[in-house]
Structure 1
Amino acid sequence: MKNKESNSVNASKVTFTELMLPSHSNFSGKIHGGYLLQLMDQIAFASASKYSGCYCVTASVDVVNFLNPIEIGELVTLKASVNYVGNSSMLVGIRVVSENIQTGKVKHCNSSYFTMVAKDKDGNTTKVPHLVLSNSEEIRRFFDALRRINQKKNLITLEEKFDHLSESSLELLKKHNVIVNMK
Structure 2
Amino acid sequence: MIKKSPVQSLTIMNELVLPNDTNTLNNLMGGRLLHWMDIAAAISAQKHCNRIVVTASVDNVSFKHSIKLGDVVTIEAKVSRAFNTSVEVRLDVWAQNIPSGTLVKSNEAYYTFVALDKDGSKIEVPELVPETAEETELYNGALRRRQLRLILGGKMKADEATELKALFFGEQK
Q: Which TM class, normalised by the smaller chain length?
A: 0.7 to 0.9
- Residue 164 of structure 1 corresponds to none
1:68 to 2:65 alignment:
yes
CA distance in 1, matches of 2:118, 2:147: 31
- Residue 90 of structure 1 corresponds to 87
Structure-to-structure mapping, 1:38-57, within 5 angstroms: 38-57=35-54
Q: How many residues align?
A: 155
CA distance in 1, matches of 2:76, 2:22: 21
The secondary structure found in structure 1 opposite 2:91 is strand
CA distance in 2, matches of 1:13, 1:99: 20
CA distance in 1, matches of 2:129, 2:122: 21
1:22 to 2:29 alignment:
no
Q: Residue type matched to 2:69 in 1? A: I
Structure-to-structure mapping, 1:53-132, within 5 angstroms: 53-132=50-129
**Structure having the higher Rg:** 1
Q: How far has the Cα of 1:29 moved from its partner?
A: 1.5
CA distance in 2, matches of 1:12, 1:89: 14
CA distance in 1, matches of 2:101, 2:86: 37
TM-score, with structure 2 as normaliser:
0.85
TM-superposition CA deviations, 1:124-181 (whole Å, max 9, x none): 11110011111111100111212212333455435xxxxxxxxxxxxxxxxxxxxxxx
- Residue 135 of structure 1 corresponds to 132
Q: Residue type matched to 1:63 in 2? A: N
TM-superposition CA deviations, 1:50-81 (whole Å, max 9, x none): 11100000000001111110000011000000
CA distance in 2, matches of 1:29, 1:10: 35
CA distance in 2, matches of 1:148, 1:6: 22
Q: Residue type matched to 1:43 in 2? A: A
**5+ residue gaps, structure 1:** 159-183
TM-score, with structure 1 as normaliser:
0.81
Q: Residue type matched to 2:147 in 1? A: N
**5+ residue gaps, structure 2:** 159-173
CA distance in 2, matches of 1:103, 1:30: 17
Residue 13 of structure 1, aligned match among 1, 10, 13: 10
TM-superposition CA deviations, 1:11-62 (whole Å, max 9, x none): 1100011111011001222100000000000001100001110000000000
Q: Residue type matched to 2:4 in 1? A: N
TM-superposition CA deviations, 1:73-96 (whole Å, max 9, x none): 011000000001111100000000
